[in-house]
Amino acid sequence: MTTEMQNEAEIFRGTTEGATRFKDHRSVRGTPKQGMPAFVLGEELAEMAKTDERIVVATADLASANRTNDFRDVHPERFFDFGIAEKNMITAAAGMAACGLVPYVATFASFAAILGAEQIRTDCAYPKMPVRVIGTHSGMSMGFYGSSHHALEDLGMLRVMADLTVICATDANHLRAVLRRSVDHPGAMYIRLGRGRDPLVYDTIPDVEIGKAIRLREGKDLTIIATGSEVRAALDAAEVLAADGTTVRVVDMHTISPLDRSEIEAAARETGAIMTVEEHNITGGLGSAVAEVLVDLPRLPFLKHGVPNRYVEVGPPAALYDKYRLDAPGVTAVAREFVATHG
DSSP 114-149: IITHHHIIIIIITTT---EEEEES-BTTTGGG-TTT
Gap between the Cα atoms of 136 and 38, Å rounded: 11
SS (H, E, C) 270-284: HCCCEEEEEEEECCC
DSSP 4-16: HHHHHHHHHHT-S
Kindly give the pairing relationship between strand 248-252 and strand 214-217. antiparallel
Kindly give the pairing relationship between strand 255-257 and strand 164-168. antiparallel
- Calculate the alpha carbon distances from 85 to 63, 82, 193 in Å: 14, 6, 20
pLDDT by residue, tens only, the chain of 343 residues: 333 433 433 333 333 344 334 444 443 444 445 445 557 999 999 999 999 999 999 999 988 889 999 999 999 999 999 999 999 999 999 999 999 999 999 999 999 999 999 999 999 999 999 999 999 999 999 898 989 999 999 999 999 999 999 999 999 999 999 999 999 999 999 999 988 777 899 999 999 999 999 999 999 999 999 999 999 999 999 999 999 999 999 999 999 999 999 999 999 999 999 999 999 999 999 999 999 999 999 999 999 999 999 999 999 999 999 999 999 999 999 999 999 998 6
Handedness of CA 231, 291, 266, 237 (dihedral sign): positive
Reported pTM: 0.89
Determine the pLDDT at residue 20: 39
Cα-only R_g, the chain: 20
Full strand arrangement of the beta sheet holding 55-59: 79-81, 55-59, 102-108, 132-136, 188-192, 164-168, 255-257
Using an 8 Å Cβ cutoff, are 234 and 224 in contact? yes
Determine the pLDDT at residue 38: 57
Beta-carbon contacts of 202 under 8 Å, excluding residues fewer than 6 positions away, are 170, 171, 173, 174
DSSP 54-92: TEEEEESS-TTTTTTHHHHHH-GGGEEE--S-HHHHHHH
- Calculate the alpha carbon distances from 42 to 139, 182, 223 in Å: 21, 15, 34
The b/e string for 194-219 (b: 16+ C-beta within 10 A; e otherwise) is bbbebbebbeeebebeebebbebbeb
- Asked, as a colleague might, if the bond just before 258 is cis with ω within 30 of 0, I would say yes
Query: Looking at the DSSP assignment, which residues form a beta bridge with residue 139?
Result: 151
Domains defined along the chain, listed by start = 11-192 (3.40.50.970), 214-342 (3.40.50.920)
Using an 8 Å Cβ cutoff, are 229 and 136 in contact? no
Determine the pLDDT at residue 5: 36
Using an 8 Å Cβ cutoff, are 137 and 113 in contact? no
Nearest residue to 254 via CA among 210, 204, 217 = 210
CB-CB neighbours of 294 under 10 Å: 16
First-residue to last-residue Cα distance in the chain: 50
Gap between the Cα atoms of 69 and 49, Å rounded: 14
Gap between the Cα atoms of 68 and 66, Å rounded: 6
CB-CB neighbours of 343 under 10 Å: 12
